[in-house]
Structure 1
Amino acid sequence: MELAKLSSKGQITVPKHIRDVLDVKEGEHVAFVEEGGIVFMAKADLDSIHDLQEILSDSKFKEVVRKAKQLK
């Protein structure tokens, strides 16, 4: 788990480990997708967003999200 602090302007610094995992560099875009109260971040290129959409539509993944919401 990585943590980031929200600035007064609503900005965060994405931790280096996460930038490396997403393979994002300065000036590139990231996409945020909310599903069941959980927010996912992905590199904003067509392949990455397509992969994320496939994961989010998977029934097993939806069950994990449902269980996670019950833990709140």
Structure 2
Amino acid sequence: MELAKLSSKGQITVPKHIREVLDVGEGDHVAFVEEGGIVFMSKADLNSIHGLQEILSDSKFKEVVQKAKSLK
């Protein structure tokens, strides 16, 4: 788990480990997808967004989201 602090302008610094995992750097775009109160972040290129859409439509993934919601 990585943590980031929200600034007064609503900005965060994405932790280095997460930037490396997503393979993003300065000038790259990222996408945020909310599903059941949980937000997912992905590199905003066509392949990454397509892969994220496949994951979000998977029934096993929806079970994980339901379990995560119960932890709130």
| TM score, norm. by length of structure 1 | 0.97
CA distance in 2 between counterparts of 1:7 and 1:16 reads 18
The alignment covers a number of residue pairs equal to 72
- Segments of 5+ residues of structure 2 without an aligned counterpart are none
CA-CA distance at 1:71 after TM superposition: 2.2
Unaligned runs of 5+ in 1: none
- Give the CA deviation at 1:35: 0.3
Matches within 5 A, 1:6-21: 6-21=6-21
| Counterpart Cα distance in 2 of 1:58 and 1:5 | 31
TM-score in terms of structure 2 length: 0.97
Give matches, 1:27-38, under 5 Å: 27-38=27-38
Alpha-carbon displacement from aligned partner over 1:25-69 (angstroms, at most 9, x marks no partner): 100100000000000000000000000000010000001111111
- Helix, strand or coil: the match of 2:14? coil
Structure 2 residue 49 is matched with structure 1 residue 49: yes
- Given the alignment of the two structures, is residue 63 of structure 1 paired with residue 51 of structure 2, yes or no? no
Q: Percent identity?
A: 89
For the residue of structure 2 that corresponds to 1:24, the secondary structure is: coil
